[in-house]
Structure 1
């Protein structure tokens, strides 16, 4: 079978190689022909050598989607021909995270999605909603699992206010899921055009952090001085202190990103006095993805796709994604 291999942590180290076809699926396994994959910041960290657990050489990209071509014994919820999103945590089916469950990740420690076929645990393959394209299915796993987990952990219901930082895939999926639950959403961006596009997706208000550097004060204004129930913290060092200042008494800062750095100053008095919850996440389980996909199916949501690349454009796709300027997800069409 054809695969894309990352030989070492270097954007020039992608190569197309041929590997043996996978074996027939064993007990509770499925064989999937891959059709699409989508980039997340962890994929950039791997290719830059900034993710300590990553192994090389490896098949890159955590998130992917494909068509089931064969099922093993004991698989009853899937059949040949089903379209599936493949959860990136290869053994984290459900329950709380453990060191092992969180560590084993496609495209990082085990082979990822840029391959002709993948043999996976059937419990980590989630049947996709019929209304989605291959690109949209590939955009589901990390971003929608993460967005769904943030809303669930912060107890977000109708009438709550959340702030999402930026307009990348995770932030937009959280926006969409929050609006489907009746929440009010404030989005931050350095672009007025992107704020307007986010409003077209349902955002109730936006703050341009380039023209309003103290954007947390605008959040407080928009919430009558109360603050947000949840801040979806997707950036890291540059934004974390203001995220703390944006959240209400007893509110939640849900931190997922390190695009601007992984070390942040923390005002402990603000955390203690205001009873804040700071939750870090490394996505969630396959069961969490399954819940998010049910929400997508029932509401008709469609992930936002920024751009689709072919397998002959891998370096360009990574470089464009790393700039952080895309509105939505960057996707690969897996066609050999």
Structure 2
């Protein structure tokens, strides 16, 4: 098998795996259908982009306009992925008319191609295709895609940063698989895209062997990442659960520095101390932290402190994320169980579920952060 045949085979495998995952995403039962559909659309565009490698020269020469249109689909891949990230992070995300703005690069490229390429004669199209790497249309399109990748990579990681902050301030479920999945997939994809930018530079260097091997490496990486998508989607259906994007961070709730904060500060101190005392007493007596899915909204309803006030109380006055605040009580409860000789028959797994955790890795991480020991080591030292 020569290199071109190998490239075609790898590209074909990537397209086939992508189509299988698209079928799964569109048929699997889930509440967050929008996220699945956006990921399916992303994979479809991803597959269309990969089709070019194993399309025959004869087919391309018979359908130049279709091939030119296929090139422009690249301008939709990253925007759709960005919308997918938003839909997974925030359960209340909905597609709106304003999101059509993300199609502007795609539409602009097609307008240029319509006037510059689609109405050319067959002979002119052949000349353009054979010399595309030396022509300004494709060079400008590559520059636009590179700029798009840069902008959307920043935007995606800013969304993930906001998601993580809101999650820590309002939720206690120690499973952070959504953030990890999105961070991992975003990192992997943008590494691929930045490598693709570097690979495209080789178009303009007259070293054909280097260009071919760069394509081989890229196709191997694309296939690996695509197969990884499939495994993640099949093994982790919980990745399609989101949080409320309308939740505010404590720093956004607090008065601005230029407001007259000094006058009200003294009056608030006594109320803050009282609320902290009430909160700690309630946590110790009622143990709401035993609920693994406890949220700040639920605790607010139970303790009858407005959720905004409770968020500021914990995240600002107590200088803890809600996530860490609740897990501290869970760890203290676990420590008392581990030290209790009457409960020595309980396994670590049974204890972590009993105190409100639902992930062994998260429990071990939180326990070691709090005690500098693993649960087993702490039990043996007691």
Q: TM-score, normalization: structure 2?
A: 0.22
- As a proportion of its length, which structure holds more strand? 1
- As a proportion of its length, which structure holds more helix? 2
